[in-house]
Amino acid sequence: MNISQRKMEIKTKIFALALICLAGTSCLKEKLEAGYNKQETSIDTYISKNPTAKRTATIADTLMVTDTIPVYDTTYIYETDGNGSIDTIMVIDTTEKYESRVEIQKRDTTWTDTLRVVYNNGSTRLVWEEGSGPMLEPDGSISFYYAGYTFSGTIDKKNLFVTNHQETAEAAGFALSDPDYELYEINLGETDLIDGLRSGLTGVRAGERCDILFSGKYAFGNSTFGIIPANSALAFQIWVVGVSND
């Protein structure tokens, strides 16, 4: 085999190896996408099983009440007898008068609401309690409490990996050597967040309580982060305290 033939053989082998690598990369990418799609289906199933929430509120009813009030009319009649004496006779007439008044009555009522679901760039937000005021814009500021979970079909306290919400931490037995339950305050446009959480927070209002769920594609992808396995779908419970777009 001459030198020219040898070079051609080497080039052929290199090209074949390149094709194998490309095929392997393509297969890995397809496998990851299939896994993410499966996670998104699981999220959709979770959402479909949690379509409603019970609400309780005190409602004030305004009632018009009609009262019957007796009215007395006194008449005096004077008569004289044959001896010149005057007798006084008192006659009392009773009539009825009707008066209307407004009365406020409070009552507790319970009803079932269909939960609002918001989809935004791969993130799904399930709103348990509606907020009020302006919606958080992509460069707005927000203060909130949170609890993060790895998601495998449900939000389970045993899968909690981070929180600044003391009640949630205590209920899950989530013990930290140096717990931080301070309110988290960030500017959405200036803070480094995973895509799924950023998209999920966009549009929330002050007072809102929600779940934000997304596949590993919008979390840490094919990388392990702390105790979070690679390609994990995540869910965050969010308690929004304040929103500002100034």
The CA-atom distances, in angstroms, between 133 and each of 20, 122, 141, 146, 205 are 56, 25, 13, 20, 6
Question: Is residue 53 located within the same domain as residue 157?
Answer: yes
Q: How confident is the model at residue 79, as a pLDDT?
A: 62
Tens-digit pLDDT profile for residues 31-43: 889 989 999 999 9
Q: What pTM was computed for the model?
A: 0.69
Q: How confident is the model at residue 19, as a pLDDT?
A: 45
The CA-atom distances, in angstroms, between 177 and each of 32, 184, 205 are 36, 19, 33
Domain boundary among the residues 49, 72, 105 is at 105
Domain assignment present for 52: yes
Give dist(CA 42, CA 189) in Å, integer: 30
Domain assignment present for 182: yes
Q: How confident is the model at residue 237 (pLDDT cuts 50, 70, 90)?
A: very high
Which residues are CB-neighbours of 92 under 8 A, at least 6 positions away?
A: 72, 73, 74, 75
Question: Is residue 158 located within the same domain as residue 185?
Answer: yes
Question: Is residue 155 located within the same domain as residue 229?
Answer: yes
Domain assignment present for 130: yes
- In this prediction, residues 83-104 reach a mean pLDDT of 66
Question: Is residue 115 located within the same domain as residue 182?
Answer: yes
Question: Is residue 49 located within the same domain as residue 66?
Answer: no
Q: What total number of domains does the chain contain?
A: 2
Q: Is the pLDDT of residue 125 over 60?
A: yes
The stretches of the chain forming alpha helices (DSSP H) are 3-49, 166-172, 195-201
- In this prediction, residues 116-138 reach a mean pLDDT of 95
Q: What is the dihedral of CA 120, 123, 129, 132, to 10 degrees?
A: -40
Higher pLDDT, 49 or 94: 49
Q: Which two tokens stand for residue 2?
A: 């001459």
User: Could you list the residue range(s) of the whole structural domain that residue 100 is in?
Assistant: 60-105
Q: How confident is the model at residue 52 (pLDDT cuts 50, 70, 90)?
A: confident
Domain assignment present for 33: no
Domain boundary among the residues 74, 90, 105 is at 105
Question: Is residue 126 located within the same domain as residue 189?
Answer: yes
Computed from CA positions of residues 227, 233, 235, 236, in that sequence, does the dihedral angle turn out positive or negative? positive
Question: Is residue 117 located within the same domain as residue 131?
Answer: yes
Question: Is residue 130 located within the same domain as residue 195?
Answer: yes
Q: Is the pLDDT of residue 48 over 50?
A: yes
Q: How confident is the model at residue 58 (pLDDT cuts 50, 70, 90)?
A: confident
Question: Is residue 70 located within the same domain as residue 174?
Answer: no
Question: Is residue 94 located within the same domain as residue 205?
Answer: no
Domain assignment present for 8: no
Please say whether the beta carbons of 234 and 214 come within 8 A. Answer: yes
Question: Is residue 155 located within the same domain as residue 223?
Answer: yes
Domain CATH code at residue 140: 3.10.50.40
